[in-house]
Structure 1
């Protein structure tokens, strides 16, 4: 981990700035451009990121780097279903593209990286790697053994491979972007102790 970058678990006061960061990071991302209508795209994107961050902060892990220059969110396998009000808002923000949201169920017991983004002006400074190391260690500390994620950017595939992920599926989404589903398996201390 890059020790010059401070990463910590986010609190509720961080979420507005974290949503701004993710909206900037995903402004041109193939998947968000595919599933969010172009009308008021940036406002919809930011609102969705804020909703997802609030849910992840309440039920999983949200990590922030520096002054929220980078953000990562993971959910555990036992995260509860979102409240109906959140589901309604997600549907409203996705509008007529809600049907494009297709997310397979992760393997039983797997954590899921929901998002990882860095402000454009801070990209290339190892923030994404530092956030990933932090969040994966936190998931393992909480008992996680397997983590899954989806990406539609081939540059991200290389990043995740450097952190122990491998591609399990590479799917063509018809008129949408290509999607890589990736998995990493980790040995946590509970598993090690049980095997002794």
Structure 2
């Protein structure tokens, strides 16, 4: 374990506001969020959505943060329930006029017994220092230690593909969204 990995810990609900802000900064120009979230109040909507998703992941999965909350990773185990109806209504409200377009996207179904590497982000001020790789390693270690070692994810940033490949993921499908980003579905070996 390197020094960066020693600073990674499980997140608590108290970490959500700062962790959501970190993810919002990390995803400010991300192709999927730019396409799927309305431009009006984009930054605020993105941060609120990240907070909702992180709270759900803390409740049902694994959320890891760096000690300074400059990096965040969240994973959901197989068979994680959907957010409750009031939370889904909040998400729909934040997605606004983009909700229908997002709902029409057909991504490959996640394999049975696969963890969902839901998100990972490092604040841009701390990018390039190895925090993302350290978070990926820690998250994968926790997932592979479970009874369900397979992990899948989607990314719409082509540059992320090589990073994930370094950690054992392979591209299993590419989805081309008309008027939107390409989405790369990736999976670890069993």
Would you say same fold, with TM above 0.5?
yes
Q: Equivalent residue for 1:3?
A: 3
Change (3 A) 1:52 1:166: same
- What is the rounded CA distance, in whole Å, between the counterparts of 1:52 and 1:166 in structure 2? 25
- What is the rounded CA distance, in whole Å, between the counterparts of 1:4 and 1:29 in structure 2? 25
Which SS does the other structure have where 2:181 is aligned? coil
1:122 to 121, 126, 130: 126
- What is the rounded CA distance, in whole Å, between the counterparts of 1:78 and 1:3 in structure 2? 33
1:85, distance to aligned residue in structure 2 (A): 0.6
1:100, distance to aligned residue in structure 2 (A): 2.7
1:139, distance to aligned residue in structure 2 (A): 1.1
Q: Equivalent residue for 2:46?
A: 45
Q: Equivalent residue for 2:55?
A: 54
Query: Which sections of structure 1, spanning at least 5 residues, go unmatched?
Result: 187-196
- Give the superposed CA RMSD: 1.2
Which SS does the other structure have where 1:168 is aligned? strand
Which SS does the other structure have where 2:55 is aligned? helix
Q: Equivalent residue for 1:193?
A: none
- Is the CA contact 2:108–2:185 (under 8 Å) kept in the aligned structure 1? no
- What is the rounded CA distance, in whole Å, between the counterparts of 1:100 and 1:42 in structure 2? 19
Which SS does the other structure have where 1:125 is aligned? coil
- What is the rounded CA distance, in whole Å, between the counterparts of 2:14 and 2:132 in structure 1? 21
Q: How does 1:95-106 map to 2 (within 5 A)?
A: 95-101=96-102, 102=105, 103-106=107-110
Query: Which sections of structure 2, spanning at least 5 residues, go unmatched?
Result: none
Listed one character per residue, the Cα deviations across residues 42-75 of structure 1 (whole Å, up to 9, x for unaligned) are: 0000000000000000000000012110000000
Q: How does 1:67-106 map to 2 (within 5 A)?
A: 67-101=68-102, 102=105, 103-106=107-110
1:2, distance to aligned residue in structure 2 (A): 3.1
- Is the CA contact 1:60–1:75 (under 8 Å) kept in the aligned structure 2? yes
Which SS does the other structure have where 2:120 is aligned? strand
Aligned residues: 186
- Is the CA contact 1:2–1:126 (under 8 Å) kept in the aligned structure 2? no
Deviating beyond 3 angstroms after TM superposition, the runs of 4 or more aligned structure 1 residues are: none
- What TM-score do you get using the length of structure 1 for normalisation? 0.91
- What is the rounded CA distance, in whole Å, between the counterparts of 1:158 and 1:100 in structure 2? 28
Q: Equivalent residue for 2:185?
A: 181
Which SS does the other structure have where 1:86 is aligned? helix
Q: Equivalent residue for 1:36?
A: 37
- Is the CA contact 2:176–2:182 (under 8 Å) kept in the aligned structure 1? yes
